[in-house]
């Protein structure tokens, strides 16, 4: 199997100011090809979740694959439009949409607002009425399915701030009937992220069928069913699973959710599209001997990649410039916070000042979450 990093790429890394993001765009294109061809088997529609990575070059490649965009802010709608996504392929989700963001969506005639509460529906209705427009609405429903993922990235249980709870759905539908500038076109779910089991998706299908039946009793038929994102990636062994198993993923929905005629089914993958194609490249500043352990101190910190500090996330770390016998290190960054640690007691080829370390599987929720804490510069991005 071809290595993720060519020898030439590693030579180039030595000459460039670190830290920076490196994207393997060939892998991104292959991943998109697999995702879109598997979705096409069942006529499923894909909207890429822009929040995973909104780098303009990445967005352009994704747009070229023919998919739409799932946005969770006005800024993301602007980023998607700038990258050439057409407005009729943009959906807008989020629990806290500001008025200017709703107005932007209305002015651009985006496909759909995924709405989550009665007060939000009232505001979209009012703003749409002012423009003499009708806003297309999908209700984001909290299906009360536990995604069995980290509690910071599970979204579909009753305790979460996201979505309309099932016991409140009737009230929301009653309200919706009074809002003349809204048109209900479907329902939307997103149960969490980094899901590696199929069971929550199966449960989601089951729940969706129940909800569909409940709505049919009120004479509502749903044109659009949006199952959100959430398909996980292999952070432990990226090289053997560079492309997530989209085939099995879509098969679950095909098997357990029979599509009605005239109905469209949508998905919003983020991480599974971009996660494996990116790596954070960093240099070892110092190898520091502690009293009972060794630290490899990198020039990248949680300002460049916050996932380990934020969600205890694991990123595989490789020393690209050493093949000496392995030693054990805590790999840490330069930020003045104890949580600025990428991993403890990791086994790596012996490290020296100047070695190049790669933090793998950093294409999703990496660069886009970078901050300037400690007055640091935002990282550059380079492409194969």
Whose Cβ is closer to ligand PLP: residue 186's or residue 269's?
Answer: 269
51 binds ligand PLP (CB under 6 A): yes
361 binds ligand PLP (CB under 6 A): no
DSSP H or E segment with residue 255 = helix 246-256
Whose Cβ is closer to ligand PLP: residue 91's or residue 284's?
Answer: 91
CA dihedral 344, 345, 348, 350 (to 10 degrees): 110
Residue 336: how many CB atoms within 10 A of its CB? 9
- Least Å distance, CB 269 to ligand PLP, is 5
Quick one: which of 373, 374, 365 has its CA closest to 58? 365
Among the residue ranges 47-55, 96-104, 248-256, 343-351, the one whose residues contact ligand PLP (CB under 6 A)? 47-55
Q: Looking at 69, 93, 138, 297, which residue binds ligand PLP (CB under 6 A)?
A: 93
- Least Å distance, CB 52 to ligand PLP, is 5
Among the residue ranges 22-30, 250-258, 263-271, 280-288, the one whose residues contact ligand PLP (CB under 6 A)? 263-271
User: CB–CB of 173/222 below 8 Å?
Assistant: no
Q: Looking at 54, 69, 72, 147, which residue binds ligand PLP (CB under 6 A)?
A: 72
Q: Looking at 270, 278, 301, 308, which residue binds ligand PLP (CB under 6 A)?
A: 270
Among the residue ranges 3-11, 229-237, 251-259, 335-343, the one whose residues contact ligand PLP (CB under 6 A)? 229-237
Class of residue 47 by CB neighbours under 10 A (exposed 0-12, middle 13-18, buried 19+): buried
Whose Cβ is closer to ligand PLP: residue 271's or residue 307's?
Answer: 271
Q: Strands 278-289, 264-267: parallel, antiparallel or unpaired by DSSP? A: unpaired
Report the phi/psi class of residue 84: left, alpha or beta, with left for phi > 0 and alpha for psi in -120 to 50: left
Q: 3-state DSSP call for residue 370?
A: coil
Of 139-198, binders to ligand PLP (CB under 6 A) are 190, 193
User: CB–CB of 158/144 below 8 Å?
Assistant: yes
Among the residue ranges 34-42, 262-270, 328-336, 346-354, the one whose residues contact ligand PLP (CB under 6 A)? 262-270
d(CA 142, CA 155): 8
Quick one: which of 238, 217, 324 has its CA closest to 5? 238
Q: Which two tokens stand for residue 140?
A: 């984001």
Q: Looking at 228, 238, 308, 379, which residue binds ligand PLP (CB under 6 A)?
A: 228
Whose Cβ is closer to ligand PLP: residue 272's or residue 321's?
Answer: 272
- Least Å distance, CB 195 to ligand PLP, is 7
Among the residue ranges 32-40, 266-274, 282-290, 310-318, the one whose residues contact ligand PLP (CB under 6 A)? 266-274
105 binds ligand PLP (CB under 6 A): no
Whose Cβ is closer to ligand PLP: residue 74's or residue 333's?
Answer: 74
Q: Looking at 238, 269, 333, 363, which residue binds ligand PLP (CB under 6 A)?
A: 269
Whose Cβ is closer to ligand PLP: residue 73's or residue 282's?
Answer: 73
d(CA 320, CA 7): 10
DSSP 113-153: EEE-SHHHHHHHHHHHHHTT--EEEEEEEE------S-GGG
d(CA 276, CA 270): 11
- Least Å distance, CB 150 to ligand PLP, is 11
What lies within 8 Å, CB to CB, of 355 at 6+ separation is: 283, 284, 319, 320, 321, 322
229 binds ligand PLP (CB under 6 A): yes
Whose Cβ is closer to ligand PLP: residue 271's or residue 283's?
Answer: 271
Which H, E and C letters describe 168-186, residue by residue?
A: HHHHHHHHHCCCCCEEEEE
Q: Looking at 28, 49, 71, 265, which residue binds ligand PLP (CB under 6 A)?
A: 49
Whose Cβ is closer to ligand PLP: residue 229's or residue 301's?
Answer: 229
Interface with ligand PLP (CB under 6 A):
49, 51-52, 70, 72, 93, 190, 193, 228-231, 268-272, 364
């Amino acid at each position: 199997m071809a290595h993720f990093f060519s020898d030439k790429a590693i030579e180039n890394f030595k000459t460039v100011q670190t830290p920076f993001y490196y994207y393997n765009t060939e892998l991104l294109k292959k991943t998109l090809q697999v995702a879109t061809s598997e979705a096409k088997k069942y006529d499923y529609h894909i909207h890429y979740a822009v929040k995973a990575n909104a780098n303009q070059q990445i967005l352009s490649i994704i747009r070229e694959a023919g998919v739409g965009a799932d946005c969770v802010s006005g800024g993301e709608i602007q980023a998607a439009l700038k990258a050439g996504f057409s407005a009729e392929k943009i959906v807008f989700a989020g629990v806290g949409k500001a008025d200017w963001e709703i107005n932007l969506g209305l002015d651009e005639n985006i496909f759909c607002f995924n709405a989550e509460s009665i007060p939000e529906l009232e505001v979209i209705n009012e703003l749409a009425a002012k423009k003499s427009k009708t806003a297309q609405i999908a209700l984001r429903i909290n299906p009360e399915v536990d995604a069995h993922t980290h509690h910071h990235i599970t979204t579909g249980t009753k305790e979460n701030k996201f979505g309309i709870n099932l016991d409140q759905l009737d009230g929301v539908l009653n309200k919706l009937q009074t809002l003349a500038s809204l048109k209900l076109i479907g329902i939307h779910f997103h149960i969490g992220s980094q899901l590696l089991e199929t069971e929550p998706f199966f449960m989601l299908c089951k729940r969706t069928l129940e909800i569909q039946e409940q709505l049919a009793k009120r004479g509502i038929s749903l044109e659009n069913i949006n199952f959100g994102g959430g398909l996980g990636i292999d952070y432990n062994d990226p090289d053997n699973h560079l492309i997530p198993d989209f085939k099995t993923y879509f098969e679950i929905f095909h098997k357990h959710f029979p599509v009605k005629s005239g109905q469209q089914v949508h998905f919003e993958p983020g991480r599974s599209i971009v996660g494996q194609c990116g790596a954070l490249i960093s240099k070892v500043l110092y190898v520091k001997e502690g009293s009972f352990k060794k630290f490899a101190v990198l020039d990248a910190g949680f300002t460049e990649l916050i996932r380990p500090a934020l969600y205890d996330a694991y990123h595989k770390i490789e020393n690209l410039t050493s093949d000496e016998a392995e030693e054990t290190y805590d790999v840490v960054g330069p930020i003045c916070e104890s949580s600025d640690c990428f991993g403890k007691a990791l086994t790596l080829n012996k490290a020296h000042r100047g070695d190049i370390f790669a933090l793998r599987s950093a294409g999703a929720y990496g660069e886009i979450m970078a901050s300037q804490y400690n007055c640091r510069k935002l990282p550059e991005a380079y492409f194969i």
